[in-house]
Amino acid sequence: MNKASIVIVGAGISGLSAAYNLAKAGMKDVVVIDKDYFTNGATGRCGAGVRQQWATKLNCILAKKSIEFFARANQELNYHKDIEFKQEGYLILATNEKEDLQFSKNVKLQNSIGIESEKLTIEEALKIVPHLNKDAFVSATFCKTDGHVNPFLMSEAYYLEAKRLGVQFYFFEEVKSIIVKDKTIYKVVTDKREILTDKVLNAAGGFAKEVGEMVGVDIPVFSENHEILVTEPTKPMQGPMVMSFSKNIYCQQVPHGSFLMGRSNPDAKPSHDISSSFEFLDEMALTVSDILPEVAKLRVIRTWGGSYNVSPDRQPIISDTLLVKGFYMACGFSGHGFMFAPITGELLREMILGQELDEYAKDLHIDRFKDNIATDYEHSVV
């Protein structure tokens, strides 16, 4: 029978980052299993933005450390192509007084841990994105080191380097059950093989809850469809991601030239649905016509959906559990697993190899939801 020192469920960005970090630290026999094609899940469906402008300290720290990695990723991962890290900022619009006040607080928090965000007036924002509708917002925040990374190529960079370090990947193979003996991981059963192992990492993205159920661990997350569209490519016309929480939009021109934009559906129910709807297209078209009328002149060529795996406080769960020894999880990223992936992999490496975790990272533990202990809630989410 096959043996592994760890089986990682899911070859999305979190699983890839963890596999790379573990192999680089010297772990042998790392196995990654994915039920479908390369980046079939949330990673390959995400909006490709990477930002540090958050409302909770925890998310700010995770984001800052991850941005630092993206800047050196091509080199560290010996990637023969380019992950397309573009640092032209995120411009986040405040559309009312309440948001304006909150954003001042956010910037103060971000600055306190070294994130270079700043508050901007309407005039200052228009200098950065001249085609903004000046009547659609009251102020903005900007962080010039935020930006874009290509999710497919970032994944490939991790994947190829992990393979070179000896990680074994099985695509189009589904984990069917995980056998636990004496409260310890014992075996992983897929539709093609059985693998003896005493460690499993649940990096199953939209299906993290189901993988938790396989070992009797109730993870308080649910999946929700978030839709997105892409336009035809055009000349470079917008540097930063433009975002508004109150107007429910994010919109960025990627290096390829096309615009990606998305919004959340306030009526979405927890499910694994990832289909496209005409309602999304209507609402998205209305919102972008209001805020960015120049961008609305472009043709939309494709729409799709993907799962947010949402946690109770909209912050990730990167954790082990007392219930099952050897069971680890990285889930509940609430739409931000791609941009937090570098630090996710590093923290998992520390946790799985029994190294001392940084103090802040202890707040990512699943037990923070026990007994309704109050945690910071992340409001800066589309």
Partner 1 sequence: MNKKDIIICRCEDITLADIHECLEMGYETFEDLKRILRVGMGPCQSQNCAHLIQTEIANYLKINREDVKLQKTRPLITGVVLKDIAKAKEQEDE
Question: Distance of alpha carbon 380 from its chain centroid, rounded?
Answer: 14
DSSP letter at 329 equals E
Structure tokens at 98: 């309440």
How many residues does this entry show for the chain?
Answer: 382
Size of the site for partner 1 (CB under 8 A): 31
Structure tokens at 367: 């037990």
Kindly indicate which of the ranges 5-13, 36-44, 62-70, 91-99 contains the residues binding partner 1, using the contact rule CB under 8 A.
36-44
| Residue with Cβ nearer partner 1 (72 or 256) | 256
- Residue 330 interacting with partner 1 (CB under 8 A): no
Q: How far is CA 179 from CA 19, 60, 169, 200, 272, in A?
A: 21, 37, 21, 11, 25
Residues linked to residue 181 through DSSP beta bridges, in sequence order: 184
- C-alpha torsion sign, points 57, 348, 44, 215: negative
| Residue with Cβ nearer partner 1 (80 or 370) | 80
**Calpha distance 4→93 (Å, rounded):** 48
| Residue with Cβ nearer partner 1 (167 or 221) | 167
- Residue 357 interacting with partner 1 (CB under 8 A): no
| Residue with Cβ nearer partner 1 (109 or 285) | 285
| Residue with Cβ nearer partner 1 (196 or 296) | 296
Question: Distance of alpha carbon 291 from its chain centroid, rounded?
Answer: 25
Map residues 135-174 to x or -, x wherever contact with partner 1 holds by CB under 8 A: -----------------xx--x------------------
Minimal distance, residue 288 CB to partner 1, in Å: 6
For residue 10, give the 3-state DSSP assignment.
coil
Minimal distance, residue 153 CB to partner 1, in Å: 8
Residues linked to residue 177 through DSSP beta bridges, in sequence order: 189
Minimal distance, residue 292 CB to partner 1, in Å: 9
Tell which one of 284, 317, 329, 341 touches partner 1 (CB under 8 A). 284
Map residues 62-81 to x or -, x wherever contact with partner 1 holds by CB under 8 A: --------------------
- Residue 288 interacting with partner 1 (CB under 8 A): yes
Tell which one of 166, 216, 270, 293 touches partner 1 (CB under 8 A). 293
Kindly indicate which of the ranges 67-75, 90-98, 173-181, 275-283 contains the residues binding partner 1, using the contact rule CB under 8 A.
275-283
Q: Are 8 and 19 within 8 A, CB to CB?
A: yes
Rounded to 10 degrees, the C-alpha dihedral 65/153/163/348 comes to: 30
- Residue 304 interacting with partner 1 (CB under 8 A): yes
Structure tokens at 23: 């192999």
Map residues 92-131 to x or -, x wherever contact with partner 1 holds by CB under 8 A: ----------------------------------------
Secondary structure element (H or E) that encloses residue 68, with its range: helix 57-76
The residues in 205-264 that bind partner 1, with binding defined as CB under 8 A, are 230-232, 256
Kindly indicate which of the ranges 23-31, 39-47, 181-189, 351-359 contains the residues binding partner 1, using the contact rule CB under 8 A.
39-47
Structure tokens at 53: 């402008």
Minimal distance, residue 275 CB to partner 1, in Å: 10
**Calpha distance 29→40 (Å, rounded):** 24
Question: Distance of alpha carbon 319 from its chain centroid, rounded?
Answer: 16
Q: How far is CA 239 from CA 125, 145, 184, 259, in A?
A: 12, 12, 50, 11
- Residue 377 interacting with partner 1 (CB under 8 A): no
The site for partner 1 (CB under 8 A) is made up of: 37-40, 44, 152-153, 156, 230-232, 256, 276, 281-282, 284-286, 288-289, 293, 295-304
